[in-house]
Amino acid sequence: MNDVKNPASDSLASPSHAAEKEKEEGSFVFFLIKLVLVVVIFRSFIFSPFNIPSESMLPRLINGDHLLAAKWAYGIGENNFPLLPGRYFASLPERGDIVIFKHPVDGTDYIKRAIGLPGDTIEMRDGQLILNGKAVPKVQVDDFIIPITPNTDCHPLAEIETLADGSMVCRYKQFKETLPSGKTYNVLDFGPFPKDNFGPIIVPEKSFFAMGDNRDNSQDSRFPPEAGGGVGIVPEDRLVGRATIMMWSTDGSSEWLLPWTWFTAARWSRIGGTL
């Protein structure tokens, strides 16, 4: 039995061990580089998360919603990947798509519904949308009711109700619109408002007309473009992507130091739905 170490054997093994360690470190670095590239490509060209910061798209989108946008839906370019000049595989939205785009003046991300495409004539008469000379069917449906939470205020023109359990909700009049393609969506309407009468205007080439579903609480294509305000007619090269999936939604009542509130604040019924 020989318990004495052989120095010569150790000296021969050391270079091999060092080479193995170096190979492992190199593999890890290569893995990190690949991971970063995958994340960059995924976020730049495929899907990217967006959050809803306002109530201009009620009732479909609520303050506190977090969604994934398909960034390849309308082509790729500098709005998807800043290092890529120009725009490739460009296309316009379909009427009714919920689109994310850069504000034509200040570059902020906006989210609205695409209503008019190039050549379309858009008009509003007493709150009725007129598309190419024909009224878009609009029928009243059940009121939209939403709990009042840290993420959700009640518009001054809406109704506030107190439920039996003491919680407060906001009630809005809700209408269903149906586009010529058959696509339907719900909108909110407070009654007579300044932009209930607008146009007619013709949407120019390589542009689209966007409107918020919360018709009387949305700075959209009915308003002239200005920083922090209306967007005017939106050029197609400002498109970022199409809203596709509801990834997460919170009512804003969670606290970082109280982990259980992360779950109680979630709007579970909204998560996972397609847009």
Residues annotated catalytic, as ranges: 56, 112
Length of the chain: 275
- CA–CA separation, 49 vs 247, rounded Å? 8
Q: What DSSP string describes 1-19? A: ------HHHHHHHHHHHHH
User: Nearest-5° angle of CA 186, CA 190, CA 193?
Assistant: 115
**DSSP string of 85-97, one letter each residue:** -SEES--PPPTT-
- 264-269: long-range contacts at Cβ-Cβ below 8 A with a sequence spacing of 24 or more? 267/62, 267/64
- How many Cα atoms within 13 Å fall on the side-chain side of residue 31? 6
Contact 176, 189 (CB under 8 A): no
Q: Over the Cα atoms of the chain, what is R_g?
A: 26
Residue 54 token pair: 């306002």
